[in-house]
Amino acid sequence: MMSKHAKEMGVLKEHLGKHQLKFTRQRELILDAFLKQEHITAEEMYHQLARKDPHLGLATIYRTLNLFCEAGLAQARHFGTQTQYDNVSHKGHHDHLICTGCGKIVEFENCDIERLQEEVASRNGFTIQTHRLELYGLCSRCRH
């Protein structure tokens, strides 16, 4: 069923093994659904999966998404009032444009911005270990 996600499944199984946790059918179901997304909230995931497994609770989804973060498959991003889980299993570093009207999220990469950040850090005696760039505004649909 999950052969196209074999790499991610292996990463999760290895992480679970290190922490003496079980690989369950529910975790497999959540991982399969998560890997088809770019960004999703736990609530959105719950509504998607409630039809497939009515016994799957919201708390289980939260715990599992946080487990994906610990395993390096996801990153929790706090956009506005909601936590979106960003599928980073197949992506390198990227930044975000977030619409404050509809919540649309656009990912982008820009070498010039990355270079400028490094220059600013260097001028101030810093070495960047990690960073997040989130730009908030209105998308073209919400502006009109």
pLDDT tens per residue, range 55-75: 899 999 999 999 998 988 888
Assessment of whether the complete model's pTM goes beyond 0.95? no
Tens of pLDDT along 35-51? Answer: 888 888 999 999 999 98
Is residue 2's pLDDT more than 50? no
- What is the chain's alpha carbon radius of gyration, rounded to the nearest angstrom? 18
**Mean pLDDT, all residues of the chain:** 87
How many Cβ atoms sit within 10 Å of the Cβ of residue 86?
21
Q: For residues 37 and 44, what is the distance between their CA atoms, to the nearest angstrom? A: 11
Q: What is the mean pLDDT of residues 82-95?
A: 78
The per-residue pLDDT for 33 is: 92
